[in-house]
Amino acid sequence: DAKTTQPPSMDCAEGRAANLPCNHSTISGNEYVYWYRQIHSQGPQYIIHGLKNNETNEMASLIITEDRKSSTLILPHATLRDTAVYYCIVRVATSSGSARQLTFGSGTQLTVLP
């Protein structure tokens, strides 16, 4: 799986949009971009994933650049409960029984400020 690079920390004002960047310059054509977050002492929570098109769900939007070398997770109206470590993960989609695990990096600590 391709390696990802994220800033170690970011702050965001409550009610504002939080834009979390991720670089994945070595991504290949069959690799998806996944975002998870982990609130302190809890298990990781799935947010969203995509291949090349922008995606939106009830939690967030995922914007993937045309060359797929970077992406941005957007939380449109951040709340204090969005304070968490956010992980950007690139994972190959394979029909085989192996190589399905997620490889987590260090993530970005997002702090939403009141």
Instruction: Calculate the CA dihedral of residues 100, 103, 109, 110 and round it to 10 degrees.
Output: -30
Nearer to another protein, 89 or 112 (CB): 89
With residue 32 as reference, give the H or E element that holds it: strand 31-38
- 39 part of the interface to another protein, by CB under 8 A: no
Q: Is 105 in the site for another protein (CB under 8 A)?
A: yes
DSSP summary character for residue 17: P
Query: Which residues in 2-31 contact another protein (CB under 8 A)?
Result: none
Single residue of 10, 32, 61, 63 touching another protein by CB under 8 A: 32
The whole-angstrom separation of Cα 28 and Cα 8 is 24
Residue 13 or 56 having the CB closest to another protein: 56
